[in-house]
């Protein structure tokens, strides 16, 4: 006998409306009908920043490590959490009522039979991204084999790109969430500037940024950072150094604020005192690359034109880069479309994130701008970072945060 555990409705938490749900479900079911799909089987891995649960969260408003079943007709089911915690997911959203604990293959197969899909065509949606390959598209191997064995007459197809296509263009409610995430990014920046002083360490800078975001209603997300006289070409993750910062040190960092799962990414460089003039030269090029984005990122322009303008600016300056490009932003980071590597001056070899998709920029797309540049004639082991998140409007790109693109000097 299954027992119901208590839960209570939460107020004052990020929430999307039922109107948004009906729009998404209608668009999704239209796509499913065109492909003659009876159901979607959505795998999810919440992780520390939520990127691996983007597809499930987009469809069900539930962020969990587990599985979602979304039928062409009828109500969806979400599997996730332990018996005493799975009911909590009903507390912060009203999109899905049928939430069950765990994600065991026998239970999933039984639920697919409940929905009448045991002989149907089931579209499989992996967690991660089919196209960007930063968070690779993934499904649990043994679980999937077991589900196939239990449903021998069902036909399975890869449909990870289906929700990704819908996620490319943001709705008004999504944009409102992203605007809130931008406010959190501003708070994280202020904390960074306040703590970037001699005597404090990287770990303290990180802790202050996390506190600023979570204290204002945000969720956990990614922070990459490196500090020292000659910072790395790109920030890094744990472990953060406990070495006290000194006057003359540089800090490079990339962070993502997260509000209701929606993420805003920022890249920034900061100097404790007046920096070496050669860092000023590098950052001048970073700012010129950012200007090239803002000039070219408009509806109707190809993504290739925007990326080429960014790369050309670096090439003309005789510098090189780790990342110079754009990546989609929303519930995932990166999400489709993404191009951050590639080009003759890129220090990263051939990589899927350097492949240029034939995408035409459209209104309400949201992009993170990644700029990580160094001067190989001076130092090959150090560089600076700059970037922000922008939304494409009818007249062009609009920067979402109030964080300066310019180098910060404390």
pTM: 0.94
Contacts of 193 (CB under 8 A, 6+ apart): 270, 408, 410
Q: Lay out the sheet containing 223-228: strands in order across.
A: 223-228, 250-259, 262-271, 408-409
pLDDT at 48: 61
Report pLDDT digits (tens) over 58-105.
Answer: 999 998 889 999 999 999 999 998 888 888 888 889 999 999 998 899
Report pLDDT digits (tens) over 212-233.
Answer: 999 999 998 899 999 999 999 8
Task: For residues 240-249, give the mean pLDDT.
Answer: 95
pLDDT at 4: 66
Q: Exposed, middle or buried by CB within 10 Å (0-12, 13-18, 19+), for 323?
A: buried
What does DSSP say about strands 121-125 and 39-44: parallel, antiparallel, or unpaired? Answer: parallel
pLDDT at 84: 82
Query: How many other β-carbons are positioned within 10 Å of the β-carbon of residue 68?
Result: 27
Higher pLDDT, 130 or 330: 330
**Six-digit token string for 41:** 């089987």
* Confidence at 23, pLDDT banded by 50, 70, 90: very high
How far apart are alpha carbons 58 and 378 in whole angstroms?
Answer: 46
Angle among Cα 131, 133, 135 to the nearest 5 degrees reads 120
3-state SS track over 41-104: EEEECCCCCCHHHHHHHHHHCCCCCEEEEEECCCCCEEEECCCCCHHHHHCCCCCCCCEECCCC
Closest CA to 104 of 67, 157, 137: 67
pLDDT at 133: 53
DSSP three-state, residue 141: helix
Closest CA to 197 of 232, 231, 247: 247
Tell me how far CA of residue 224 lies from CA of 257, 318, 392, in angstroms.
12, 26, 26
Beta bridge partners of 366: 391
| Pure H helices in 252-384 | 277-296, 303-316
How far apart are alpha carbons 395 and 359 in whole angstroms?
Answer: 18
What are the backbone angles phi and psi of residue 130, rounded to the nearest 5°?
-70, -30
Task: For residues 9-33, give the mean pLDDT.
Answer: 95
What does DSSP say about strands 250-259 and 262-271: parallel, antiparallel, or unpaired? Answer: antiparallel
Report pLDDT digits (tens) over 136-162.
Answer: 667 888 999 999 999 999 999 999 889
Task: For residues 381-395, give the mean pLDDT.
Answer: 97
How far apart are alpha carbons 42 and 410 in whole angstroms?
Answer: 47
How far apart are alpha carbons 36 and 39 in whole angstroms?
Answer: 9
Tell me how far CA of residue 149 lies from CA of 109, 156, 286, in angstroms.
9, 12, 54
How far apart are alpha carbons 108 and 156 in whole angstroms?
Answer: 14
Q: Could you give all domains of the chain from N- to C-terminal order, each with its CATH number?
A: 18-167 (3.40.350.10), 172-409 (3.90.230.10)
Report pLDDT digits (tens) over 299-323.
Answer: 999 999 999 999 999 999 999 999 9
Residue 343 pLDDT exceeds 90: yes
pLDDT at 321: 97
How far apart are alpha carbons 382 and 394 in whole angstroms?
Answer: 38
**Six-digit token string for 276:** 């070496």
Residue 127 pLDDT exceeds 80: no
Residue 39 pLDDT exceeds 50: yes
pLDDT at 137: 65
Instruction: Tell me, rounded to whole angstroms, the distance of Cα 161 from its chain centroid.
Output: 16
pLDDT at 1: 41
pLDDT at 128: 60
């Amino acid at each position: 006998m299954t027992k119901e555990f208590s839960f209570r409705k939460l107020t004052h938490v990020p929430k999307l409306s039922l109107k948004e749900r009906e729009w998404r479900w209608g668009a999704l079911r239209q796509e499913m009908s065109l492909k003659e799909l009876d159901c979607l089987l959505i795998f999810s891995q919440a992780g520390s920043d939520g990127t691996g649960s983007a597809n499930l969260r987009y469809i069900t408003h539930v962020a969990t490590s587990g599985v979602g079943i979304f039928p062409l007709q009828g109500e969806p089911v979400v599997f996730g959490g332990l018996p005493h915690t799975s009911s909590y997911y009903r507390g912060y959203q009203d999109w899905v009522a049928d939430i069950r604990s765990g994600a065991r293959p026998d239970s999933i197969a039984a639920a697919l039979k409940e929905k009448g899909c045991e002989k149907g065509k089931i579209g499989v949606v992996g967690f991660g991204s089919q196209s960007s390959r930063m968070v690779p598209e993934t499904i649990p191997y043994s679980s999937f084999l077991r589900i196939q064995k239990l449903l021998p007459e069902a036909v399975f197809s890869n449909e990870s790109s289906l929700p990704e296509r819908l996620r490319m263009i943001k709705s008004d409610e999504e944009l409102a969430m992203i605007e809130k995430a931008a406010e959190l990014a501003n708070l994280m920046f202020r904390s960074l500037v306040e703590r970037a002083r001699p005597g404090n360490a990287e770990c303290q800078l990180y802790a202050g940024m996390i506190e600023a975001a979570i204290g204002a209603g945000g969720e956990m997300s990614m922070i990459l950072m490196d500090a020292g006289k000659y910072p790395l070409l790109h920030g890094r993750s744990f472990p953060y150094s406990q070495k006290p910062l000194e006057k003359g040190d540089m800090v490079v960092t990339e962070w993502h604020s997260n509000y209701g799962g929606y993420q805003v990414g920022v890249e920034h460089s900061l100097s404790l005192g007046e920096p070496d003039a050669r860092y000023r030269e590098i950052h001048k090029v970073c700012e010129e690359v950012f200007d090239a984005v803002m000039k070219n990122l408009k509806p109707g322009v190809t993504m290739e034109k925007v990326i080429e303008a960014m790369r050309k600016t670096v090439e003309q300056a005789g510098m090189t880069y780790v990342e110079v490009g754009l990546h989609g932003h929303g519930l995932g980071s990166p999400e489709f479309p993404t191009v951050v590597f590639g080009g003759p001056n890129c220090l990263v070899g051939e990589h899927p994130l350097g492949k240029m998709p034939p995408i035409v920029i459209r209104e309400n797309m949201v992009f993170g701008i990644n700029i990580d540049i160094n001067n190989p004639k001076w130092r090959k082991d150090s560089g600076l970072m700059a970037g922000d998140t922008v939304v494409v409007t009818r007249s062009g790109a609009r920067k979402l945060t109030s964080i300066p693109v310019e180098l910060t000097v404390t």
